[in-house]
């Protein structure tokens, strides 16, 4: 897990969501190139941009599922075309996924 705790982390999270978790779009929104974004995230968060973006996407998905959103809604919110794609990604990220109250998500 990435260990960032900078004041700029909330800004990075907002930009990541706005960019659909795509580093190229993020860099564009932040008016920098991808290499600069890569260095900044590595320095501030202590991990690669890909790892950090995946963690942020996972946190948002879990939060929305806990709040009662459907898989279809969460999939659309975090950039998946289908709920099935989100389910498969969650299985890879979490080592298994259950949908429903027993899931704890």
What CATH code is carried by the domain that includes residue 80? Answer: 1.10.10.60
CA pair distance 60, 35, nearest whole angstrom? 25
Per-residue pLDDT tens digits for 27-36: 999 999 999 9
Asked if the model's pLDDT at residue 101 lies above 50, the reply is no
Is 37 a member of any domain?
A: yes
Collect all residues with Cβ–Cβ distance below 8 Å to 34 and sequence separation of at least 6: 23, 24, 27
Asked if the model's pLDDT at residue 9 lies above 90, the reply is no
Is 4 a member of any domain?
A: no
Is 3 a member of any domain?
A: no
Question: What pLDDT score does 96 carry?
Answer: 62
pTM: 0.79
Per-residue pLDDT tens digits for 47-61: 999 999 999 999 999
Q: What does each C-alpha distance from 38 to 29, 68, 69, 79, 82 come to in angstroms?
A: 14, 34, 32, 21, 29
Is 22 a member of any domain?
A: yes
Give me the number of domains the chain comprises.
Answer: 1
Is 32 a member of any domain?
A: yes
Per-residue pLDDT tens digits for 39-95: 999 999 999 999 999 999 999 999 999 999 999 999 999 999 999 999 999 999 887
Domain of residue 67 covers 9-103
Is 1 a member of any domain?
A: no
């Amino acid at each position: 897990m990435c260990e960032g705790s900078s004041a700029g982390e909330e800004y990075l999270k907002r930009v990541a969501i706005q960019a659909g978790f795509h580093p190229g779009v993020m860099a564009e929104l932040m008016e920098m190139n991808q290499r600069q974004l890569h260095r900044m995230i590595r320095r501030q968060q202590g991990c690669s941009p890909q790892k950090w973006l995946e963690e942020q996407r996972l946190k948002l998905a879990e939060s929305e599922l806990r709040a009662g959103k459907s898989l279809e809604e969460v999939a659309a919110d975090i950039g998946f075309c289908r709920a099935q794609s989100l389910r498969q990604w969650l299985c890879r990220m979490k080592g298994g996924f259950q949908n429903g109250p027993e899931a704890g998500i």
